[in-house]
Amino acid sequence: MQEDKIKSGMVAIVGPPNAGKSTLLNVLLGQKISIVTPKPQTTRNRIIGILNGPAYQVVLLDTPGLHKARKPLNLEMVKIAVSSLAEVDVILFLIDVSLPMPEKQAQTVEYLESATVPAVLVLNKIDLLDRDQLLPMIEMYSEVYAFAAIVPISALLNTGTDILLQELLRLLPFGPRFYPEDIPTDATERFIVGEIIREKIFLLTGQEIPYSTAVVIDSFKEDEGKSLVTIHATIVVEKSSQKAIIIGRKGSKLQEIGKKSRQDIEKLLAQKVMLKLWVKVHKNWTRDMRFIRDLGL
């Protein structure tokens, strides 16, 4: 097939926090690229996934959740999500249908008002909804905004995603491939490793701890002779009390974070990994714009 005859383009996956954007990205790609936790606002940066087929290439942008932000870190996260709307050919707007249509979800639709490209409403988590509730919900949202299509899915169960892909291909233009066919993301291994560690912190700690942590990869060295990758990483927190929680009694929590992270990193790299973690206090880093920029946000 000629390169200029394939369907290709950029698609932003946007919506409120915890709607299932990262889960959808991973399901469409058939592998884990974006971290997933039950906590909202897990995704901080824009992550690109590349979906290839014989007649298409869909470049998917997983974005942070749209929400009312106050802290500098959260403001940057929302800015990343909103800026994505201006750079794409199609917008996938994800809603969690297990929640009623509260004002918060209605407010996030307002972000689409300035969009100049088609938007597809994705009603996610339909496995948590009674079937007779679905049609009224579709009618309700169709009155809120002129969506190009409304597609019910369950990203977790991978149902309805084939129909969603068909709708995307219908709306995307013809064009060239932007990336080689054999890569699923443009994210570096260092970036994904940092995200894996951050995911384990989200899953293994409670309250405000995950939102007050950042992960910096200090070194990433491959020893091909030993088939070993040695990674040194620093977990940054805002307070000494948070550092104590991350480390845990006699270092038990940090060991658990390290063990579970290493297991996933070894799957990613298909090599043995030696992972060394440290914890450092950077007071109020979520308000330090210079540090936030250094993190790549």
pLDDT grade for 67, boundaries at 50, 70 and 90: very low
Q: Under DSSP, is residue 83 helix (H, G, I), strand (E, B) or coil?
A: helix
Q: What is the largest CA-CA distance in the chain?
A: 62
Is position 49 within any domain?
Answer: yes
Residue that wins the pLDDT comparison between 212 and 64: 212
For the beta carbon of residue 148, count every other beta carbon within 10 angstroms.
Answer: 14
Q: What is the mean pLDDT of residues 154-181?
A: 94
The residue with tokens 């977790």 is 156
Do 200 and 275 lie in one domain? The reply is yes
pLDDT band at 173 (very low <50, low <70, confident <90, very high): very high
Residues 158 and 29 in one domain: yes
Q: Tens digit of pLDDT for each residue in 269-285? A: 889 999 999 999 999 88
* pLDDT value of position 105: 52
What is the predicted pLDDT for the residue at 240? 94
**Does residue 31 sit within a domain?**
yes
154 & 268 share domain = no
pLDDT digits (tens, 9 = 90+) for 72-121: 555 555 555 556 566 789 999 998 888 766 544 555 566 677 778 899 99
Integer CA distances (angstroms), 186 to 10, 178, 182, 265, in order: 13, 11, 11, 17
Indicate the number of domains in the chain: 2
Residues 139 and 270 placed together within one structural domain of the fold: no
Residue 61 and residue 126 share a domain = yes
Query: Terminal CA-to-CA distance of the chain, rounded, Å?
Result: 38
Give the count of beta carbons closer than 10 Å to the beta carbon of residue 207: 9
Q: Please check whether residue 134 lies inside any domain of the structure.
A: yes
Query: Residue 69: pLDDT above 50?
Result: no
* CATH at 212: 3.30.300.20
Is a pLDDT exceeding 70 seen at residue 214?
A: yes
Residue 227 has a pLDDT of 85
Q: Is 146 in the same domain as 214?
A: no
Q: Which residue has the tokens 């308000």?
A: 287
Residue 23 located in a structural domain: yes
Domain with 235, as residue range(s), is 189-294
Domain shared by 193 and 170, yes or no: no
Instruction: Tell whether 157 and 274 lie within a shared domain.
Output: no
Q: pTM of the entire structure?
A: 0.77
Decide if 152 contacts 141 (C-beta within 8 A). no
Residue 165 belongs to domain with CATH number? 3.40.50.300
Encode pLDDT of 123-148 as tens digits. 999 998 888 888 888 888 888 888 99
pLDDT band at residue 184 using 50, 70 and 90 as cut-offs: confident
Q: What is the pLDDT of residues 1-42, one digit of tens each?
A: 445 579 999 898 888 778 888 889 989 988 887 767 665 556
> Do 157 and 133 sit in the same domain of this protein?
yes
Residue 112 and residue 69 share a domain: yes
User: What's the pLDDT score for residue 13?
Assistant: 87
The residue with greater pLDDT, 197 or 226, is 197
- Position of tokens 């009155």? 143
**Does the pLDDT of residue 155 top 50, yes or no?**
yes
Which residue among 129, 145, 175 closes a domain?
175
Domain membership flag for residue 184: no
Among 143, 175, 207, give the residue marking a domain's end.
175
Same domain, 144 and 285: no
- For residue 18, give Cα distances in angstroms to 2, 33, 39, 222: 39, 17, 7, 35
Query: Averaged over 156-176, what is the pLDDT?
Result: 95
Domain boundary among the residues 127, 151, 175 is at 175
On whether residue 196 sits in a domain, the answer given is yes
Q: Are residues 32 and 170 in the same domain?
A: yes
Which of 37, 51, 54, 3 has its CA nearest to residue 164? 51
44-47 long-range contacts, Cβ below 8 Å, gap at least 24? 44/73, 44/77, 44/295, 44/297, 45/80, 45/296, 45/297, 46/80, 46/81, 46/84, 47/22, 47/185, 47/187, 47/195
The stretch 172-180 carries a mean pLDDT of 92
